[in-house]
């Protein structure tokens, strides 16, 4: 059995609210290794040598090239959103909420600008939740799910991770 990507090591219990509808993801891809992100392999008897910066990395260590992973997200998230919108015959203005994986404030700022979404519709929970891996989208949605008296809202969701995995979906909450 292949190793699970880091984003799979976390689970979130989500129950379906009465009247909620969920569309199937439009795109899911998975590439869990490569030059910019790799998963640990079983440790071997060889001690890895320090690199030019003094970091000791070997096959038993996680590795992420942050700049390349950011470039991946800045390219992939808007593409995934565009594919979902094309499939759903919608534009970004048709969504009451846009909820992305809460990876970092810097990445959210850049993605918000790329997607052209105003602050009133772009959900951020970095201050209260931080990057909780695969739980960030459910945690970001939680205040809206608790607001039972409001009218239904259409939300665009895009999850992505260091394992070069991503998915986009539309939900009505």
On the question of pLDDT at 66 being above 70, the answer is yes
* Token pair 């700022």 in the structure block, residue: 109
Beta pairing, strands 165-172 & 154-161:
antiparallel
Residue 64's pLDDT is 73
* Residues 90, 154: Cα–Cα separation, whole Å: 11
> Is the pLDDT reported for residue 92 higher than 80?
yes
Cβ(126)–Cβ(103) below 8 Å: no
pLDDT score of 28? 43
Backbone phi, psi, residue 148, to 5°:
-65, -25
Mean pLDDT of 64-81: 89
Tokens found for residue 54? 């003094």
Q: What is the pTM of this model?
A: 0.75
pLDDT at 20: 58
Residue-range domains of the chain with CATH:
23-172 (3.40.47.10)
pLDDT for the residue 148: 62
pLDDT band at 82 (very low <50, low <70, confident <90, very high): very high
Q: How confident is the model at residue 27 (pLDDT cuts 50, 70, 90)?
A: very low
Highest averaged pLDDT of the listed ranges 80-84, 110-114, 139-143: 110-114
- Tell me the average pLDDT across 48-65: 76
Which of these, 88, 91, 112, 89, lies nearest to 100 by C-alpha position?
112
DSSP 143-173: HHHH-TTSPP-EEEEEEEETTTEEEEEEEE-
């Amino acid at each position: 059995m292949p190793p699970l990507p880091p984003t799979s090591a976390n689970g979130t219990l989500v129950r379906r609210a009465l009247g909620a509808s969920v569309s199937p993801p439009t795109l899911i891809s998975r590439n869990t290794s490569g030059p910019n992100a790799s998963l640990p392999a079983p440790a071997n008897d060889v001690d890895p040598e320090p690199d030019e910066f003094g970091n000791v990395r070997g096959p038993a260590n996680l590795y992420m090239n942050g700049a390349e992973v950011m470039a991946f997200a800045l390219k992939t998230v808007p593409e995934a959103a565009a594919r979902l919108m094309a499939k759903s015959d919608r534009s970004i203005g048709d969504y009451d909420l846009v909820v992305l994986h809460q990876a970092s404030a810097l990445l959210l700022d850049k993605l918000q600008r790329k997607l052209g979404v105003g602050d009133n519709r772009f959900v951020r929970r970095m201050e209260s939740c931080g990057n909780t891996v695969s739980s960030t989208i459910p945690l970001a949605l939680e205040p809206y799910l608790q607001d039972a008296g409001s009218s239904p809202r259409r939300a665009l969701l895009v999850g992505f991770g260091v394992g070069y995995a991503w998915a986009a979906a539309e939900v009505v909450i």
